[in-house]
Amino acid sequence: MTMNEMNAIDPQPRRVDAESLKAAIVDKLAYAVGKDSIVAEPHDWLAATILVVRDRAIDRWMESTRGPYRTGAKRVYYLSVEFLIGRLLRDAMSNLGLVEPIAEALNSLGVDLDAIEALEPDAALGNGGLGRLAACFMESMASVGIPAYGYGIRYVHGLFHQEIKDGNQIELPEDWLSDGNLWEFERREAAYDIGFGGTVESDGMAGDTVRQRWQPQEKVLAIAYDTPIVGWRGARVNTLRLWSARAVNQIHLDDFNRGDHVAALADLTRADTITRVLYPADSTVAGQELRLRQEYFFVSASLQDLLRRHLKQFGTVENLPDKVAIQLNDTHPSVAVAELMRVLVDLHDIPWEKAWAITRGTISYTNHTLLPEALESWPVGLMERLLPRHMQIIYEINARLLQSARKSLDADADLLASLSLIDEHHGRRVRMGQLAFVGSHKVNGVSALHTELMKETVFRDLHRLYPERIENKTNGIALRRWLMQANPGLIDLLVEAIGPAVLDDVDRLVEAGALAEDAAFQERFAAIKRANKMQLAEVIRSTVGVSVDPDAMFDVQIKRIHEYKRQLLNILETIAVYNQIRMHPERDWAPRVKIFAGKAAASYWTAKQIIRLINDVARVINNDPAVRGLLKVVFLPNYNVSLAETIVPAADLSEQISTAGMEASGTGNMKLALNGAITIGTLDGANVEISERVGPDNIVIFGLTADEVAAQRRAGHNPRAIIGADDRLRTVIEAIADGVFSPDDRNRYRDLVDNLMTTDGFLVTADFDAYCRAQREVDAIWREPASWQAKAIRNTANMAWFSADRTIRQYARDIWDVPVG
Ligand code: NBX
Ligand code: IMP
């Protein structure tokens, strides 16, 4: 008898009223945490509360997991090396409708919910946008009722903890698991062998293909850890399954007894290394073998796991595309194409053509960047050594790809070289984006502009060969986290103004647009923003010791520090304003606080210099009495999801100023606009669509377009000429070069300045003037509070389209072919 035929024996679902929750918390405190309420510390209360909420999630979790076994529904598997989940307690409570009763229960126990919530570690298993998108998608897939699994890596150390010392970024290890993780369940039954290295031997025929048998030289175990992901109203609870590596042999006792402790533990160390750290690179590929090991490790474990589940239920791999959709979140999991082919051909005896149809029918791929340095490729030699069978398969895929290109495009050698999965120009490398592309039935970009650029640039030739394959799926964000949880004051106001139906149907947000000019509504909207700014001001005071005026404009740029995101443009303009304030103290300056936060990859020297410059400029401006507090600059350390949740609701102005064509989408732009910040931005990524949705009067767009950027680059960008012709810009750059902001080391920014004057690869100087003018436009709007508030309200009212639920519905319909609720 299979479990399908058995009736599950279910526990009694847990009660959710405040009185029962109080009893449950006291119970957990004693029996699971082992603490007496008299001596319980805040972290003990947090543990008890998490366990109580977790129980209530589990009631829905088992039911949700069983569903597809009963109905035969298709499952979606989202493969990502990053899940930037942040804290989970508020998310789970909010989606289960438990915030109020839990707060009440804790209150009656003399415990403050907000205080203990802040103790939960922020799970930072990601670098930035791509990782946070994966987390938002997990929440949305549960909310719209898709049976979905997230598969990733359980890094012991997530993205580093950033400290700022003397203006410099210092990276400290992040340690989210040090006090245990109450959300996860270790699954001993889901443990798989993962092979590396070794040899390949032929092993008979499978149809017209020689079947090969890979004999790995090395094996490690992948162990699953499951975290429940609760959808809105708890209707569905999905699983985030993260893999941890463990040595097959934890210890070699003979070595140990001989006294060679290092050799005795060598396997343990090697396995442990695979899942120990997240690579802190967001746009350059860490070229290390370890990264490839991580990728193959989690891909192989995930495929084994999903195939086990599939075979248990259906007994055949032939219907895989009907029952399974695998989404590759960027190229990091793209070895899945070769791995699935290997499993089908070598282990299931499926002929090549059929295996290829199954693979392509099942897999699809999302591209998140066009930056050449971020396009992943692996040296052929490394692939051959680590994954010899996969390399053979990639050659075979490539041979067939080039064959069909010769036929249908009549391709010449240049075209073939450009299409090839093997890059012959940089010492023979496997292009993982190309591999993902050819192994997928759909390939998507993450904003309309980015998708068009994909067709014209990196995938131009593949797009010609397969013109139906590329589609756009503009990113979205989990509105529940980024509005309802992050900004409770605003959601309460919106519910009061337009009714509670908005909680279940976010499209109703547009109704708030009708109130944009309503003075009373404006006043309340502004009051909520001010309260959020007061909270942020307190965070600023307590973390960096700068006091800021909540009535000044909070001008916010929060994101990874990267040259293409152009924090440098922002700080140059800040210096220009500083100069102006000193030169014209009599003018009516609109007070501003420039708020920066973000991490730079540890190896990215220029980005770290930019952090240092921001901090140097902050010190000078904040301490100059001539500024009279009209301008403040703040760099908040250790940007993460939790800090974003504090900054986003408090922002007045959202800086989205990347060099056009370089930001694939952006999602911070969506979070800020949703919370009523006005965007100052270039026509890049999703800014284009935000502008279309909120209307051109409610956003400040400036600068070169993507086409103009390309044209300027072709024509030869000449920063020196631009600087020479602009006194203001020249003065700013000279001040930096002369050490005005680094009197202790006047040469500190010489390279940065040289680079700006000679190359300026991100066209900072080209957009400087337009940016300054746009900022003065912003000042003018700010001086008319009613006008500002109306625009802010229209931003909130028109952002619902950027809900990740909308994005997920589009993936479900156009890529995965799964129904949604
Ligand atoms: O993905 C980001 C893009 O830069 C954003 O524009 C976009 O909104 C977001 C979600 O689609 N990309 C990103 O975060 N990339 C990485 O983090 C990354 C990490 C490792 C790597 C390459 C890129 N090797
Ligand atoms: P997996 O899908 O095999 O990883 O099992 C995870 C969960 O799915 C189990 O704890 C059950 O809740 C559910 N499940 C597994 N097998 C069956 C089945 O045959 N029928 C119904 N539910 C199942």
Nearest to 224 by CA among 246, 243, 210: 243
Q: Which of 1, 2, 3, 238 to mutate to test the pocket of ligand 2 (most atoms within 8 A of CB)?
A: 3
The catalytic residue among 28, 54, 132, 368 is 368
The question of whether 599 is a catalytic residue gets the answer no
Q: How far is CA 470 from CA 55, 322, 359, in A?
A: 42, 21, 17
Nearest residue (by CA) to ligand 2, atom 14, is 66
DSSP type of residue 586: T
Q: What is the mean pLDDT of residues 179-200?
A: 95
Separation of CA 200 and ligand 1 centre (Å): 35
Element (H, E) at 70: helix 42-71
Long-range contacts of 601-605 (CB under 8 A, 24+ apart): 601/127, 601/280, 601/281, 601/282, 601/283, 601/284, 601/560, 602/160, 602/171, 602/280, 603/281, 603/284, 604/284, 604/561, 604/562
The tokens for 199 are 């040899």
- Tell me the average pLDDT across 86-115: 97
Q: Locate the DSSP E strands across 598-734.
A: 631-636, 653-656, 678-681, 700-701
Atom 1 (ligand 2) nearest CA: 309
Ligand 1 centroid to 131 CA: how many Å? 8
Q: Which ligand approaches the C-alpha of residue 8 most closely? A: 2
**The residue type at 705:** T
Encode pLDDT of 730-753 as tens digits. Answer: 999 999 999 999 999 999 999 999
* Mean pLDDT value across residues 385-411: 94
Distance 66 CA to ligand 2 centre (A): 5
**Residue 757 scores a pLDDT above 50:** yes
Spot the catalytic one: 161, 559, 566, 612.
Answer: 559
Within 6 A (CB) of ligand 1 lie 127-130, 133, 281-283, 285, 368-369, 374, 446, 475, 663-667, 685
Query: Whole-angstrom Cα distance, residue 659 to residue 647?
Result: 24
At residue 211, the pLDDT reads 80
Which are the contacts of 703, defined by CB distance < 8 A and separation ≥ 6?
A: 657, 660, 682, 683, 767, 770, 771, 774
Higher pLDDT, 525 or 425: 525
Ligand nearest to the Cα of 137, by number: 1
Q: What is the distance in A from the centroid of ligand 1 to the CA of 663?
A: 9
The pLDDT score that the predictor gives to residue 286 is 66
Q: Which ligand is nearest to the CA of 228?
A: 2
**Among the listed ranges 175-179, 285-289, 345-349, 368-372, which one has the minimum average pLDDT value?**
285-289
- Give yes or no: 560 in active site: yes
Helix (H, G, I), strand (E, B) or coil at 171: strand
Name the closest-CA residue to atom 21, ligand 2: 66
pLDDT score, position 189: 85
From ligand 2's centre to the CA of 65, what distance in Å?
A: 6
Q: Which of 80, 84, 130, 432 to mutate to test the pocket of ligand 1 (most atoms within 8 A of CB)?
A: 130
* Run of H or E residues at 534: helix 519-544
Domains of the chain: 1-69+96-116 (no CATH), 73-88+123-474+809-816 (3.40.50.2000), 545-802 (3.40.50.2000)
| Mean pLDDT, residues 241-258 | 95
For tokens 């060598």, name the residue: 266
What is the average pLDDT across 190-200? 96
Q: Which ligand is nearest to the CA of 60?
A: 2
Active-site choice (227, 574, 667, 765):
667
Distance 103 CA to ligand 2 centre (A): 34
Catalytic-labelled residue, pool 28, 455, 524, 671: 671
Check residue 530 and give its pLDDT. Answer: 98
- Using the mean position of ligand 1's atoms as its centre, give its distance from the Cα of residue 174 in Å: 20
Nearest-atom number in ligand 2 for the CA of 308 is 3
Residue 284 pLDDT level (bands cut at 50, 70, 90): low
**Rounded to an integer, what distance in angstroms lies between the CA atom of residue 138 and that of residue 238?**
8
Mutate to test the pocket of ligand 1, among 81, 83, 282 (most ligand atoms within 8 A of CB): 282
Encode pLDDT of 262-274 as tens digits.
Answer: 999 999 999 999 9
For residues 298 and 302, what is the distance between their CA atoms, to the nearest angstrom?
Answer: 6
Kindly list the distances between the CA atom of residue 309 and the CA atoms of 76, 77, 304, 579, in Å, as whole numbers in the listed order: 12, 12, 9, 65
Known catalytic residue: 74? no
Tokens representing 264 are: 């005795």
Name the pLDDT band for 594 (thresholds 50, 70, 90): very high
* Pocket residues: Cβ below 6 A from ligand 2: 2-4, 62, 65-66, 69, 309
* Cα 660 to middle of ligand 2, angstroms: 47
One-letter amino acid identity for 590? Answer: A
DSSP 8-state code for residue 680: E
d(CA 45, CA 39): 10
User: Is 2's pLDDT higher than 80?
Assistant: no
Two tokens at 111?
């415990």
Ligand 1 mutation target, pool 138, 284, 369, 373, most atoms within 8 A of CB: 369
- The DSSP letter of residue 483 is I
Q: Nearest residue CA, atom 15 of ligand 2?
A: 66
For residue 214, give the H/E element and its range. strand 209-215
Cα(369)–Cα(27) distance, integer angstroms: 49
Average of per-residue pLDDT across 397-420: 92
Q: How far apart are CA 168 and CA 297, in angstroms?
A: 35
Cα–Cα nearest to 799, from 648, 615, 659, 636: 648
Q: Is the pLDDT of residue 9 over 90?
A: no
Task: Name the catalytic one among 481, 560, 566, 748.
Answer: 560
Closest alpha carbon to 331 in 369, 302, 293, 360:
369
Catalytic residue flag (residue 565): yes
Q: Which has more pLDDT, 814 or 281? A: 814
Q: How far is the CA of 283 from the centre of ligand 1 (A)?
A: 7
Please give the distance, rounded to the nearest whole angstrom, from the Cα atom of residue 88 to the centre of ligand 2.
Answer: 24
Is residue 667 part of the annotated active site? The answer reads yes
Angle at 39 between CA 33 and CA 41, to 5 degrees: 65
DSSP code for 814: I
Q: Ligand nearest 3 Cα, by number?
A: 2
pLDDT confidence of residue 1 = 39
Residue nearest to atom 16 of ligand 1 (CA): 282
Tell me the per-residue pLDDT of 79-97, one tens digit each, with 9 for 90 and over.
Answer: 999 999 999 999 999 999 9
User: Taking phi first (over 0 means left), then psi (-120 to 50 degrees means alpha), and beta for anything else, what does residue 527 get?
Assistant: alpha
Query: Is 7 a residue whose pLDDT tops 80?
Result: no
| Atom 23 in ligand 2: residue holding the nearest Cα | 66
Ligand 2 atom closest to Cα of residue 187: 4
Q: Closest residue (by CA) to atom 10 of ligand 2?
A: 62
**Strands annotated E in 353-402:** 363-366, 377-379
Residue 38 phi, psi dihedral angles, 5° rounding: -65, -35
Between CA 49 and CA 39 the distance in angstroms is: 16
Residue the block writes with tokens 């009963």: 70
Mean local confidence (pLDDT), 464-479: 97
Q: Look over the chain and give the mean of its residue pLDDT values, rounded to a whole number.
A: 96
CB 683 within 8 A of CB 689: no
Q: Which ligand is nearest to the CA of 133?
A: 1
Length reported for the chain: 821
Query: In the structure, how many helices (H) and strands (E) does the chain have?
Result: 34, 24
pLDDT band for position 206 (50/70/90)?
low
